[in-house]
Amino acid sequence: MSEQSDPYVIETGVPSVDVYRRLRTDAGLSDKSPEAAAIALPNTWHGVLLRHRGELVGMGRIIGDGGTAFQVVDICVHPGHQGRGLGRRIMAALTEELERRAPATAYVSLIADGPAKHLYAKFGFVETSSYDSVGMARVMNG
């Protein structure tokens, strides 16, 4: 009996602008303008891509200043591939890179939508209100 090889592969990188926008919207995240994505993607501190038999079906990125502050963003998996622990694999790859390269005093944050907070908790993230602070955001509407 031969063992079935894993059809999913994680690799380092960022998608093209078009694929980035498609993955986000397919996964239920907000769309970003092509102009904004074209600026953002090359400024990724570390990114991972999830492929299924060569097709890009998921991604995750870390952005930040490289020393004191980092943010985990754009964690998404195409709906046809969700429920298989793939978000966890993306987070594991990102966390491994943070542990390898980020300074010990770095502050790493993220925004958890809905039940995703349970996934992030497995990687040591806690709700900021437990530190007597609260996460805040402002979306620039243009």
Total domain count for the chain? 1
Contacts of 124 (CB under 8 A, 6+ apart): 95
Query: What are the distances in angstroms from CA 1 to CA 5, 53, 89?
Result: 12, 22, 27
Tens digits of per-residue pLDDT, 117-142?
999 999 999 888 766 777 777 788 75
CATH label of the domain that carries residue 21: 3.40.630.30
Tell whether 139 is covered by a domain: no
Tell whether 140 is covered by a domain: no
CA count, 13 A, side-chain hemisphere, 62:
26
Tell whether 17 is covered by a domain: yes
Tell whether 135 is covered by a domain: no
Tens digits of per-residue pLDDT, 93-120?
999 999 999 999 999 999 988 888 999 9
Closest CA to 103 of 68, 65, 53: 68
Q: Is residue 20 pLDDT above 80, yes or no? A: yes
Closest CA to 23 of 53, 45, 46, 48: 48
Whole-model pTM: value is 0.90
Tell whether 65 is covered by a domain: yes
Domain that holds residue 112: 8-123
Share of the chain above pLDDT 90, in %: 79
Average pLDDT, the chain: 92
Tell whether 1 is covered by a domain: no
Pairing of strands 46-52, 8-12: antiparallel
What's the confidence (pLDDT) of residue 130? 64
Q: Is residue 46 pLDDT above 90, yes or no? A: yes
Tell whether 39 is covered by a domain: yes
